[in-house]
């Protein structure tokens, strides 16, 4: 058989008769032959691999259950379409170096702003890209959720319960050492909290906003810092469920009861939120669906269908009330515990 016929049998069997394609595959099985992946890459100019670009090391990213659920959605959609995944995270501390070495057909960039240097690098290379949880870029598709609306619902819930001493446990940005100001998701959620609290006459001063990694350990450490500083909140607004659960763990170690002494509200509605005791009140967002939609939009960009316009999806959020939130204590106890 010619090289062309063998190539058709593995890549475009419809271009051969069924008898010829079957015969070639039978002989290949007998010989133990399989197409060489690098040769196929060079010939087809396609890797059949999608990149997932993350701003932090994978060990940090995967410690947040949110990212595992998002990756589940991405993987489900990619595998259905015959694509593999390549997670692109900082290489020896450099995300730019990781991007340069990544051999992928397109990129899902999560948690990176549109003006981030590595996003600019991908744009300059002309690589198809979808932004997740980021500002829109005119030429690329994007997927976000209603972060600000979800945050407002969470804050309104606590205000209606009578809380006024409310601690915000925020997600720190990856480059917080050089610029601590919130961006993207954190900025939108903080804006939602602040809108409601200000309307209720509650001044959200800087000391009532503590930041940490979006993980259980990060939330625990953030609450401990606030307590050591002397803050005595009756409620916590956490920007992720993982941080909310970490805050609950820290509070429990201090002898606080949820929700009798402290109400806690998270954001994400990860599976663990319904399993902790008490079950976590939180803002639901469709995490898996966000991953599926990101891959769908990326494939649309990669196919470059004529006349296609970049699509910008904004998915809805909703408040899920569970056992971790309740009315403010009728008589505030002055707790003088040392961490």
DSSP calls for 178-239? T--S--HHHHHHHHHHHHHHHHTT----GGGEEEE-SSHHHHHHHHHHHHHHT---SEEEES
Render pLDDT for 72-86 as a digit per residue (tens, 0 to 9).
Answer: 999 999 999 889 999
Q: How far is CA 60 from the centre of its chain?
A: 12
N-terminal to C-terminal alpha carbon distance within the chain? 76
Q: Which residue has the higher pLDDT, 14 or 107?
A: 107
Structure confidence at residue 202 (pLDDT): 96
- Provide the pLDDT for residue 92: 64
Q: Please answer whether residues 278 and 323 qualify as being in contact, where contact means their C-beta atoms are separated by less than 8 angstroms.
A: yes
Give pLDDT tens digits for 143-165. 999 999 999 999 999 999 999 99
Domains of the chain are 49-145+286-315 (3.40.50.2300), 147-284 (3.40.50.2300)
What's the average model confidence in pLDDT over 258-285? 97
pLDDT for residue 56 is more than 50:
yes
Which of 45 and 146 is assigned the larger pLDDT?
A: 146
What is the pLDDT at residue 13? Answer: 79
Specify the pLDDT at position 31.
76
Burial class (CB in 10 A: 0-12, 13-18, 19+), 163: buried
pLDDT value at position 99? Answer: 75
Q: What is the pLDDT of residue 120?
A: 83
Determine the average pLDDT of the residues in 118-125. 82
d(CA 189, CA 155) in angstroms, rounded, equals: 10
Among 264, 275, 269, residue whose Cα is nearest residue 289: 269
Of the candidates 123, 137, 130, 122, the one whose C-alpha atom is nearest the C-alpha of residue 78 is 130
Residue bearing the bigger pLDDT, 96 or 87: 87
Report CA-CA distances (Å) from 87 to 45, 110, 144. Answer: 20, 11, 20
- pLDDT value for 152: 98
Residue whose token pair is 């804006």: 191
pLDDT band at 93 (very low <50, low <70, confident <90, very high): low
Least confident of 78-87, 216-225, 272-281: 78-87
Asked whether the predicted pLDDT for residue 329 surpasses 80, the reply is yes
Do 294 and 254 touch, CB atoms closer than 8 A?
A: no
Confidence tier at 197 by pLDDT (50, 70, 90): very high
What pLDDT shows up at residue 305?
56
pLDDT of residue 192: 98
* Gap between the Cα atoms of 208 and 217, Å rounded: 19
What pLDDT sits at residue 45? 55
305 or 85, greater pLDDT:
85
Asked if 106 contacts 50 with a C-beta cutoff of 8 angstroms, the reply is: yes
Tokens representing 200 are 């209720």
Q: Is the pLDDT of residue 29 over 70?
A: yes
Digit-coded pLDDT (tens) for 279-303: 999 999 999 999 999 999 999 888 8
């Amino acid at each position: 058989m010619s090289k062309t016929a063998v190539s058709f049998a593995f890549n475009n069997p419809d271009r051969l008769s069924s008898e010829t394609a079957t015969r070639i595959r039978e002989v290949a099985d007998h010989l133990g032959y399989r197409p060489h992946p690098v040769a196929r890459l060079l010939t087809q100019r396609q890797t059949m691999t999608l990149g997932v670009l993350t701003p932090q090391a994978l060990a940090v990213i995967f410690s947040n259950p949110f990212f595992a659920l998002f990756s589940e959605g991405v993987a489900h959609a990619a595998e259905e379409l015959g694509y593999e995944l390549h997670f692109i995270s900082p290489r020896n501390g450099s995300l730019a170096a990781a991007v340069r070495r990544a051999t992928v057909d397109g990129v899902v960039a999560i948690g990176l702003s549109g003006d981030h240097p590595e996003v600019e690098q991908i744009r300059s290379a002309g690589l198809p890209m979808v932004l997740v949880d980021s500002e829109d870029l005119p030429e690329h598709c994007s997927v976000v959720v209603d972060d600000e609306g979800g945050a407002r619902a969470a804050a309104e819930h606590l205000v209606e319960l009578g809380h006024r001493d409310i601690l915000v446990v925020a997600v720190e940005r990856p480059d917080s050492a050089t610029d601590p100001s919130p961006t993207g998701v954190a900025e939108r959620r903080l804006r939602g909290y602040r809108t409601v609290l200000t309307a209720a006459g509650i001044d959200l001063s800087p000391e009532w906003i503590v930041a940490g990694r979006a993980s259980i350990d990060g939330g625990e450490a953030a609450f401990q810092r606030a307590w050591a500083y002397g803050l005595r909140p009756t409620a916590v607004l956490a920007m992720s469920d993982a941080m909310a659960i970490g805050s609950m763990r820290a509070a429990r170690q201090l002898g606080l009861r949820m929700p009798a002494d402290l109400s806690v509200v998270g954001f994400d509605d990860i599976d663990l939120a319904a399993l902790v005791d008490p079950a976590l009140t939180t803002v639901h967002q469709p995490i898996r669906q966000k991953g599926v939609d990101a891959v769908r939009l990326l494939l649309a960009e990669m196919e470059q269908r004529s006349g296609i316009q970049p699509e910008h999806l904004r998915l809805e959020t909703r408040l899920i009330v569970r056992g971790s939130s309740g009315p403010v204590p009728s008589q505030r106890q002055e707790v003088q515990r040392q961490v």
